[in-house]
A and B are shown apart, each in its own frame.
Chain A
């Protein structure tokens, strides 16, 4: 075997090892625990109390309440499968923070309530003009309007 072929084999083995390592890292990163806990995990008691963790999920429609006198805000994080956790924060909520959208909060779980010291908004990978999504929404929501009645 020539030296070049030997080197080629060594390099190929190296590549295989790296691909394997990469696969294992990817596997290890699956499972929410790498970054955040879902409401389901909180309710199941899998979350350490009194430690700073992240909670992720959808902000429940109609759940956002702001205090009149303080900066405090409360909202419910849900996974749309019935698992819900109340979040309390006195930090400014980001511009994209909206009911029905995803958010990631960092804070401490105490007696079933999540006290967030930071609330972040997630956004999806949809880059569609507002008008288009508005039209799509209209088409998909059943309307009671009769034909001929336009706005």
Chain B
């Protein structure tokens, strides 16, 4: 018999599965992030052709920026699955993803500001990439605000899923604000993101750290979705049985 995916679309069945996955993702997150950051901080060149030691903020900055964008796409994906199939769990996943996404977007902005102060000479400038990244954070905040502004969870889920979908337009814009086909046409303060000129140790430690951030995101999203499941299914039989056995 093949693995039955639909079984786990029921919150009741997903709750214990998520509980089992959380420690695995935590382990992977700590190992990969720890290894990636050690590699990045201690096994990479100290002085680059242009930048000095401070370039090492890249390991946190790039990983967090990627997660900020990917988690937004993931949040929209779960929202859309929820809209089409009317599955409770996918809305809960979207809700759980939003907080981690906002967290990552914040880290990206703060680490970028510090890096920008040292290298460019300013904490902030209204460069296209920076402005769009700030809007992404506002979209996360807007999503969470809308979620909690509507009392009925089903309506809150649907409304915020639509809002998230509309905001998705910003993600490719963030990407193309520095990577457009003709670099002379879209000027920015932020450098283009290209792997071509990146030394292999720097690149690999950056990718390992990013993978670690993925695993961390999965871990905390699953933890949070377990809380959301409990909060929303509080009146069901299985939750009350669960609390009975735990007493």
Q: Which residues of A contact B (CB under 8 A)?
A: 4, 7-8, 10-11, 14-15, 18-19, 21-23, 25-26, 29-32, 34-36, 38, 56, 92-97, 101, 104, 118-134
Contact = CB atoms under 8 A, between A and B. Distances in A.
Nearest to A79: B184
Interface stretch (B1-9, B23-31, B77-85, B218-226): B77-85
Contacts of A14: 162, 165-166
Contacts of B184: 32, 38
Nearest to A131: B45
24 contacts: A7-B86, A11-B84, A14-B166, A18-B165, A22-B170, A22-B173, A26-B173, A29-B128, A32-B186, A36-B187, A93-B121, A96-B50, A96-B119, A121-B119, A123-B191, A124-B191, A125-B193, A125-B197, A125-B198, A126-B50, A127-B199, A127-B203, A130-B45, A134-B49
Contact of B191 (A21, A122, A128): A122
B229 interface: no
A129 B192 CA distance: 19
A129 B165 contact: no
B49 A130 contact: yes
Contacts of A10: 83
Given A123-B119, A126-B48, A25 B180 contact: no
A127 B48 contact: yes
* Consensus secondary structure, chain B interface: loop
A29 B177 contact: yes
B66 interface: no
Interface residues of B, number: 52
Contacts of A118: 121-122
A4 B85 contact: yes
Interface string B80-119: 1001111000000000000000000000000000000011
B180 to A, nearest CB: 6
Interface in B161-177: 162, 165-166, 168-173, 176-177
B185 A128 contact: no
Contact of A29 (B45, B186, B197, B202): B186
B46 to A, nearest CB: 8
Contacts of A97: 121
B47 A130 contact: yes
A7 to B, nearest CB: 5
Given A94-B121, A96-B51, A126-B197, A32 B187 contact: yes
A18 B168 contact: yes
B128 A18 contact: no
B228 interface: no
Contact of A35 (B47, B168, B188, B191): B188
A124 B58 CA distance: 13
